[in-house]
Every structure is written in structure tokens, then in C-alpha cells.
């Protein structure tokens, strides 16, 4: 009993846990973290284990195992011994979950942030995409597929630079 | 759902998963071999997505069968005899030339988009949720493959000829897309899944119209369609042997 009570008292608060999670960078886009991308959905204690629920951006995102390992490593530094990372596929991840701050960070890193779409994905795909470097909207889609499932490739017709856009989803 | 429907839905989902898996496998054969770098990247992504979608369908089937979902997809993919797969011959055909693979992907994606639009309304909520996830990702597939049909058809004499040859070979096999999946007839009445026949008519009109715009000839002979998913093509045993070889060398290996 006493030991259990001590354990409970020693637990980091939810705020501390979220703060630590916000220090875990996305493995493929390390300028943003897993919380501001909307990938970490929920935390909760199941007896003495902390369960972290994540929703990968794409169903086949190959980075989710690395994310789980990175999350566990960071939380262990808070003194949490048992961490269970659970992958939840539904409701599906949407780019609407990316925070405004994260969008600015993506843009500063040369990655065009996904436009807001309110569920009207096909409509938004017809709109011009602004170059993250020179802000010109004279840009051309080169490939709907990029170096990761969640990105696509454009070139800017003004500054002539290639760039990637985070896919609206 | 009663027990019969649960079983039927599991079989339906395994068939959907098998189509995605085998098409993804064929797509992956382009990795490092596509005619241009952008398409190499595109096909690698298409393959990854399809195989990821297969996993989602297998996991749903595992839940219905009451088996552990974590290990079920690998068991199905690496340790199931070829005869137990329920994919269409349409997805089994060798990758052919790049026009063939592109056109097959387009025909499949166009059909799948119609099926997903109905599956998101399934009375079985977990199925509707997974369908919603896959549907948005598939928008990118269809946008890509749709754009290539007129490029091939209206490009050069050679690209047009290759697309026409691909179409002539694929079309009879593509007819099986509309054939009922395992369990479909029992499930359609309950609003759990759509009937493939009704999707097929919409799909056929849509793809024929795009193909005509791309100057393809769409008059085909009435060929016999092998719609029985238990009957596989001559190419399938080699595909499965290739897919399962490494895993079966040491079934107990930890990855």
C-alpha cells in the first residue's frame, strides 16, 4: 500500500508529460515535434504503465516505430518505467491537427505547410501553392509523391527552386 | 451482426487486403527501375500505401475473427499457402512495361474510390472509419494515375501504342473488379458493404470516358472473365514464393 502510494506521488503530472512529449521531434521533419503535428492523441495511466496513443499521418507511415521508441526514451527520462505506445488509425489523422506554430516552423524550414481544407480536400488541391521561399504562387506540381508519404514535390516558377509541400489530408 | 455475417465480413476484408497487398507488391517491383526518378518515387509510395492499406483490412478481419491483430497480417502474408489467397488475377499479372503498371493502377484506384465512397457509410463502424482513412490517401493515387492516362494516350506514337496494348491485355481481367467478393451478397443486404455490380457500371462509364479522351480504342471482344478469387493465374505461385521466401527461411526469427 505504502509503496503504491509513494509510486503514485512520484508520478510526473500530465502537464510534465505533455511538455516532455513536445520535445520529441518528428523523425523525418525534426523542425516540428510530435505533439504540434497532432500525432500524439492521448495519454493515460493503465495501472502503473503510461499509455501514449499516437495516430500516424499516413496509414503506412514507416516512421511510427521510430516515433514510439523516441517517445518511450524521452518519457523514461521522466522516471516513467512502463510506457506503452498504442497506434490508433481511426479517426484518421488530418493535417487540420497541425498547429499554427508548427506551420510556421515548416515554412521556415522550406516546407510549404498544408492549406486548411475543412474536409474539402479535392477543392483545396486545385488552389495554387505558395513557394515557402519567395511566396510566389506561380508554382508547378512535379509529383504528388515525395520523399515521405506525407509530402509532394513542387517547383517555383519565379525563384526556380524546388520545394516540398506537406500534403493536406 | 450474427455469426454468419461476421464470418462473411472477415472473408470480404481478407479479399480486399489481398488485392491491395498483391498490387502493392507488383508496384514495389518498380523501385529502382522506373523510367524517371519522379515515377520511381511515386511507385514506391503507391506500393507502400497499398501494403499499408492491406494491413488495415487484415487487422479489421482479425478483430472479427477474434484473433490477435498484431501478428495476423504477417501470418496472412508470409505463411499462408498461395491457394488460400483471394486476390484477383488482375493484380497478379506481372508488372509489364510502365504503361501497363500505370494503367492497372489507374483502373484499380478508380474502382476503389467508388467502393470506398460507399464503405465509409457501412453499418459496421470500424469498417467505415478505416475506409475514411484510406479514402483520403487514395485521392492522391487517383489524381496521379488519372493524369498519366492522357499523357500516355496523347504523348508519342510509342506511348499511345504501349497504353493501347496494356489496355487490351488488362480489360478482360478488369471485368472481375465488379464480381461479388466473398460474402458480399449476404453483407450487402445488411448495409455492411456495397454491391460490386452497381459500382462496376459507374466505374466502367468513368474509365471508358477518360480512355476515349486519351484516344484509346475501347471496343473490346467479349472475353471470358475469371471472377473466382480462388482461381489464380500462372504467375501467382512465383510471386508468392518470392514474397514469402525470406520469412519462411526462419519462421521464428525476430525482426
Residue A3: per-residue pLDDT: 62
Continuous segment of H or E residues that includes residue A154: strand A151-156
Domain membership flag for residue B244: yes
A140 interaction partners in chain B (CB closer than 8 Å): none
* All structural domains of chain A with their residue ranges: 2-87, 111-166
| Predicted pLDDT at A89 | 85
Q: What is the tens place of the pLDDT at every residue in B113-163?
A: 999 999 999 999 999 999 999 999 999 999 999 999 999 999 999 999 999
Is B133 close to A89, i.e. CB distance below 8 A? Answer: yes
Quick one: angle between helices B196-213 and B98-119, nearest 10?
Answer: 140
- Quote the CA–CA distance of A41 and A103 in Å, as a whole number: 18
Strands A49-54 and A82-87: parallel
Q: Nearest by CB to A167, from B53, B134, B140: name it.
A: B140
Length of chain B: 255
Closest B-chain CA to A87: B70
Chain B residue closest in CA terms to A149: B45
Residue B132's Cβ-side half-sphere holds a number of Cα atoms within 13 Å equal to 16
Fold category of A2-87 in CATH: GMP Synthetase; Chain A, domain 3 (3.30.300)
What is the per-residue pLDDT across B152-194, written as a single tens digit (0 to 9) for each?
A: 999 999 999 999 999 999 999 999 999 998 889 889 999 999 9
What end-to-end distance do the CA atoms of chain A give, in Å? 48
ipTM of this complex:
0.85
Q: Check CB contact under 8 Å for B49 and A152.
A: no
Residues of chain A with pLDDT under 50: none
Give the nearest partner residue to A59 out of B38, B137, B140, using CB atoms.
Answer: B137
Q: What is the pLDDT of chain B when averaged over all its residues?
A: 94
Work out the pLDDT band at B108, boundaries 50, 70, 90: very high
Among the partner residues B42, B52, B139, nearest to A59 by beta-carbon distance: B52
Q: What is the spatial distance between Cα A14 and Cα A37, in angstroms, rounded to a whole number?
A: 19
Q: Is the pLDDT of residue B227 over 90?
A: no
B152, part of any domain: yes
Nearest CA to CA, how far is B223 from chain A (Å)? 35
> Tens of pLDDT along B34-64?
999 989 999 999 999 999 999 999 999 999 9
pLDDT at position A10? 75
Question: Which residues in chain A are closer than 8 Å to B143, comparing Cβ atoms?
Answer: 125, 144
Residue B220 lies in a domain: no
Is residue B46 domain-resident? yes
Q: CA B63 to CA B55: how far, in whole Å?
A: 12
B156 located within any domain: yes
User: Could you list the residue range(s) of the whole structural domain that residue B58 is in?
Assistant: 3-215+233-249
pLDDT of residue A6: 60
Alpha-carbon span B177 to B163, nearest angstrom: 20
* Largest separation between any pair of C-alpha atoms in chain A: 69
Q: Which chain A positions have a beta carbon within 8 Å of B129's beta carbon?
A: 89-92
**pLDDT at residue A127, rounded to an integer:** 87
Tally of structural domains, chain B = 1
Best mutation site among B50, B57, B122, B137 for testing chain A: the one with the most A CBs within 10 Å? Answer: B137
CATH code assigned at B103: 1.20.1260.10
b (16+ CB within 10 A) / e for A133-142: eeeeeebebe
Amino acid at each position: 500500500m505504502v509503496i503504491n502510494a509513494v509510486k503514485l506521488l512520484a508520478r510526473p503530472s500530465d502537464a510534465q508529460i505533455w511538455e516532455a512529449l513536445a520535445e520529441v521531434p518528428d523523425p523525418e521533419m525534426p523542425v516540428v515535434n510530435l505533439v504540434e503535428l497532432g500525432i500524439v492523441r492521448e495519454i493515460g495511466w493503465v495501472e502503473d504503465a503510461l499509455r501514449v496513443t499516437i495516430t500516424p499521418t499516413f496509414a503506412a507511415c514507416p516512421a511510427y516505430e521510430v516515433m514510439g521508441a523516441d517517445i518511450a526514451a524521452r518519457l523514461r527520462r521522466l522516471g516513467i518505467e512502463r510506457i506503452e505506445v498504442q497506434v490508433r488509425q481511426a479517426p484518421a489523422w488530418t493535417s487540420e491537427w497541425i498547429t499554427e506554430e508548427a506551420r510556421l516552423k515548416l515554412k521556415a524550414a522550406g516546407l510549404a505547410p498544408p492549406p486548411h481544407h475543412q474536409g474539402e480536400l479535392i477543392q483545396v488541391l486545385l488552389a495554387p501553392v505558395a513557394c515557402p521561399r519567395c511566396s510566389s504562387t506561380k508554382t508547378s506540381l512535379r509529383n504528388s509523391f515525395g520523399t515521405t508519404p506525407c509530402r509532394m514535390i513542387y517547383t517555383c516558377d519565379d525563384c526556380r527552386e524546388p520545394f516540398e509541400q506537406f500534403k493536406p489530408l | 451482426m450474427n455469426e454468419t455475417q461476421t464470418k462473411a465480413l472477415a472473408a470480404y476484408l481478407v479479399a480486399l487486403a489481398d488485392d491491395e497487398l498483391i498490387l502493392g507488391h507488383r508496384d514495389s517491383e518498380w523501385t529502382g527501375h522506373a523510367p524517371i526518378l519522379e515515377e520511381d518515387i511515386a511507385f514506391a509510395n503507391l506500393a507502400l500505401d497499398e501494403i499499408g492499406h492491406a494491413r488495415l483490412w487484415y487487422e479489421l478481419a482479425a478483430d472479427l475473427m477474434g484473433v490477435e491483430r498484431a501478428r495476423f497480417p504477417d501470418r496472412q502474408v508470409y505463411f499462408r499457402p498461395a491457394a488460400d489467397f483471394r486476390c484477383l488475377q488482375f493484380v497478379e499479372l506481372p508488372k509489364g512495361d510502365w504503361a501497363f503498371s500505370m494503367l492497372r493502377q489507374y483502373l484499380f484506384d478508380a474502382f476503389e474510390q467508388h467502393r470506398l465512397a460507399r464503405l465509409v457509410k457501412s453499418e459496421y463502424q470500424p469498417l467505415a472509419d478505416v475506409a475514411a482513412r484510406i479514402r483520403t490517401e487514395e485521392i492522391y493515387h487517383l489524381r496521379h494515375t488519372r493524369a498519366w492516362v492522357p499523357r500516355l494516350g496523347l504523348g508519342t506514337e510509342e506511348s499511345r501504342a504501349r497504353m493501347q496494348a496494356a489496355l487490351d491485355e488488362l480489360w478482360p481481367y478488369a471485368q472481375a473488379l465488379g464480381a461479388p467478393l466473398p460474402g458480399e451478397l449476404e453483407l450487402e443486404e445488411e448495409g455492411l458493404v456495397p454491391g460490386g455490380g452497381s459500382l462496376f457500371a459507374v466505374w466502367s462509364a468513368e474509365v471508358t470516358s477518360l480512355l476515349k479522351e486519351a484516344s484509346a480504342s475501347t471496343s473490346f471482344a467479349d472475353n471470358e472473365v475469371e471472377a473466382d478469387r480462388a482461381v489464380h493465374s500462372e504467375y501467382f505461385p512465383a510471386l508468392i514464393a518470392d514474397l514469402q521466401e525470406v520469412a519462411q527461411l526462419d519462421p521464428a526469427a525476430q525482426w
